[in-house]
A = this chain, B = another copy of it.
Amino acid sequence: MMSMYTKNINTHLIEIKDYFKVAISVDCVVFGFAEDKLKVLLIKSDLNEYKGKWSLLGDIVPPDEELDAAAYRVLHNRTGLDNVYLEQVQTFGAIERHPAGRVITVAYYALVDLEQIKGKTTNADLYWLSVDELGDMAFDHQQILNACVLRLQQQMMAQPVGFNLLPLKFSLRELQSLYESVFGRELDRRNFRKKFLSMDLLEDLNEEEADVRHRPARLYKFNFIKYDQQRKRNLGITF
């Protein structure tokens, strides 16, 4: 029973035959934050099977391109942005997930500052939709999106990645609103402010919001350098 497995790709030189070959793609869940909602960048599929349904941004990975590079390429071509926060999440490979054949897709999520995108998005087929308000999606993209939202939540609890969704200058209200929309929970304003200010990682810019019809909020920026220096690891078993 085990003999057929004593030789394999990790231990012996075997030829990669055609019947081993499948296609690889990357799919990007591009998150943004606007109007106090977590948004995701989608396009309408024209495939017969999924006509008009929302689809993630993705593309085939040719054999001479790195996975991360493929994701960056998709993202750059669609949004015009460089230096985007991008992270691999999970690989989806159900046999029948794509009508064109066996296409295994590596899912990434990206965090972009929507203010930097305005005007750059030349592609009119792209839409920013609220994550909690979208209907049927093409392929297994709903599943992919769910996995990315979950991962985003985990990351935002453990690391300061959320700031990639905000402008460089932001108010504490915007920050709180971001956390509330990602976690789907209201948070206490005083406790939230206390928490973030006590980290001593928000730099008070001594600037204020403009054009609001109420008392303007102070603007802050996140001090990534300081964060990198003082990051601590504390074991907290919580399950």
Partner of A56, one of B5, B10, B122: B10
**Within 8 Å of chain B (Cβ to Cβ): is A238?**
yes
Query: Is A103 touching B138 in the complex (CB atoms < 8 A)?
Result: no
Query: Is A11 touching B185 in the complex (CB atoms < 8 A)?
Result: no
A125, B1: Cα distance in complex, Å:
15
**Within 8 Å of chain B (Cβ to Cβ): is A229?**
no
Chain B residue at minimal CB-CB distance from A158: B239
Query: Is A238 touching B77 in the complex (CB atoms < 8 A)?
Result: no
Partner of A10, one of B22, B27, B158: B27
| A residues whose Cβ falls under 8 Å from a Cβ of B | 1-2, 5-6, 8-16, 18-25, 27, 43-48, 55-67, 74, 77-78, 88, 90-91, 93-95, 98-104, 106, 122-123, 125, 138-139, 156-160, 179, 183, 185, 187, 195, 227, 231, 234-239
Query: Is B93 touching A1 in the complex (CB atoms < 8 A)?
Result: no
Residues from chain B with a CB closer than 8 A to the CB of A156 are 237
- The smallest C-beta distance from A20 to any residue of chain B, in angstroms, reads 5
A43, B9: Cα distance in complex, Å:
12
Decide: A63 near B10, CB < 8 A? Known: A159-B239, A238-B234.
Answer: no
Decide: A103 near B9, CB < 8 A? Known: A88-B90, A91-B67, A183-B235.
Answer: yes
Decide: A60 near B16, CB < 8 A? Known: A21-B23, A179-B237.
Answer: yes
